[in-house]
Structure 1
């Protein structure tokens, strides 16, 4: 696969992560990547994972060496640790920075600004985004700042 940084930000790769990479999925979604996750699709079988990644034209990211070799467009990660996995992707040219929230970290749906009523537990004055699919609300709170620190330390 070509380095993701060789393409413009408008043509970021769409991704499919296997069952071993659930934590990484959240980070990539928060960085704005369209990231499908096998367990979100109730898929664990390698053949089904490969088929979905191919049909949806997604880059498969996996820790499974055999699965990676079978993938038409795959990336093999070697680390068990999510921070080290992020470092591996950073070394491959992935843009791992936060901007405006654009993907739901729970379901991968697109986020839109929510100018309606803020939830009671959201801090006053915080911009709220709502997932178009699962309707979950997001704002830049303590979790956002924690992820931002983690990514800046890569």
Structure 2
């Protein structure tokens, strides 16, 4: 856990929030992206963006003004503002992020698509509810991929894991 650092402040923790920080997760952190999206982060996953090589990942983070989250020491050292993680387990990665100053609070309502990172809007506005969605509760639709979401057992599992940190 001691290796999680914010290079912009000589290794000292700095507050990272979904309101102020967009993230790019390298190819080793796909599962982590879903947890960060539950916390409201604009969290791109490198493989979903078709980028895999370190140079391309670094260039994308810098070009988009995104903070890079990575397990690759060399990539972290070469990318200003990056956060280096050492853990393989996603819950341990979340602990490292919290220690590095990353705010991890599940949102009251889903704001980001767990699949593609697109923004969610209320599906109630268009009057359509998929047959497979629960009959009660709010439903949201991703504006990018069209997938529907609701607060079900998957949401509960993700938020519970974050809250137990």
> How many angstroms does 1:72 deviate by?
1.5
> How many angstroms does 1:73 deviate by?
1.7
Q: Which residue does 1:38 correspond to in 2? A: 46
Structure 2 distance, partners of 1:44, 1:85, is 20
User: Structure 1 stretches (4+) deviating beyond 4 angstroms?
Assistant: none
The number of residues matched between the two structures is 151
Q: Secondary structure at the match of 2:19?
A: helix
Report 1 or 2 for greater relative contact order, CA contacts < 8 Å, sequence distance ≥ 6.
Answer: 2
Deviations 1:84-119 (A, max 9, x none): 000011112222121211011110100001112211
Structure 1 distance, partners of 2:80, 2:103, is 22
> How many angstroms does 1:49 deviate by?
0.4
Superposition CA RMSD, Å: 1.3
Q: Secondary structure at the match of 2:121?
A: strand
TM-score (normalised: structure 1)? 0.93
TM-score (normalised: structure 2)? 0.87
Structure 2 distance, partners of 1:35, 1:102, is 12
Deviations 1:105-143 (A, max 9, x none): 110100001112211111111200100000100000000
Structure 1 unaligned runs (5+)? none
